[in-house]
Structure 1
């Protein structure tokens, strides 16, 4: 699974000798894309804030509107608070989440979100850059969360599902399904019409009722990916059952 690197300011040996920093470095590198439109603003803000506070790196489409803006605003606010706390500030000196927006340099550059603690990646703005931007949102993440939204959001998650399906079908070496998490039932109709039977057999499409539940699911997915071998049997089974309970079935 492709992971976008966060900011780690110490060599790996240092992290190995500090279990707390090691765990936070694993979370920083478990980047989460937040996809959604204007109607997903509130959930995006909550996701950006809560995930960043727990040291996950988030990314959005990068513009100063809708869920793209709200997710980065939440992350920016979280990092501001973290840097004002003495204990967390010490940790941030070694490793820090990197919330990021991916935008277009030649398309509404004045509308690119600019936060005090967030980063912007600007692509050119040609037709191919549109596809590259979408590809980065999907591939340069460890999990994708889909909120309420319109046509743009539908294009994003349909491309995401298609990407997962094709990569798995072709048995690309080193590829594992990237979790796709839907918050609420806003997209159930289109999912049922286009992919119903496939989703009902899938093991990577999830659904939560709230943004808070989505945060908890991200935490569980990251734990299973990075610490499964270290977990006791009963804890491992509890986490796997939590994961199974959120698989989307239509």
Structure 2
């Protein structure tokens, strides 16, 4: 899942300074203590990278540490995961998560002139292992979630689609989780009025010139076949069902 890099906001800079001035480079999040706790590795290939944790009791977030900072050594958080970190990992940390309850995780980076990150929901499974890979280039940052498994003596990484839904546990608690309102015909009409007045003529869509690609069942089959060929390994049927739904939603949008 990609996100555009943006100039740093006051909130992002303040969060970074708070972290740098904190008592521990290991962050404020304590590992889950359940015997069947899930394990998650955060791998960051960008500077000043953090992974923040949110649940119903911590809607303002907890930190797990900082990676690739010039002034601080990387956190040494490790939880004994069965699948080792990628050989090319620039920095990584590991935490334990309480299984069976939905949480919200957020990647973030700060280069001094730009910030970038991605929030997503996750319900960890008991005894499962996950890996979040965080990369960046001059224009984008990318957050990737994978399930880790040891199968027949081999390390297997299975991509998991990032789901960014509302987080009901924290809805309305702060600006990160604002209260959402359902769309109604009247609300949509008011929104469109604001948008129409704010757009200059040159950026408005001309229906006569708009090219709409039809995501027919045949087109979806072709895209999925191309994706399978590029991956080179099998994924569960549920993955491809969700992938098809996401493609159709993208095409409709």
Higher strand share: 2
Work out which of the two has the higher radius of gyration on C-alpha atoms and give 1 or 2. 2
TM-score of the superposed pair, with normalisation by structure 1: 0.23
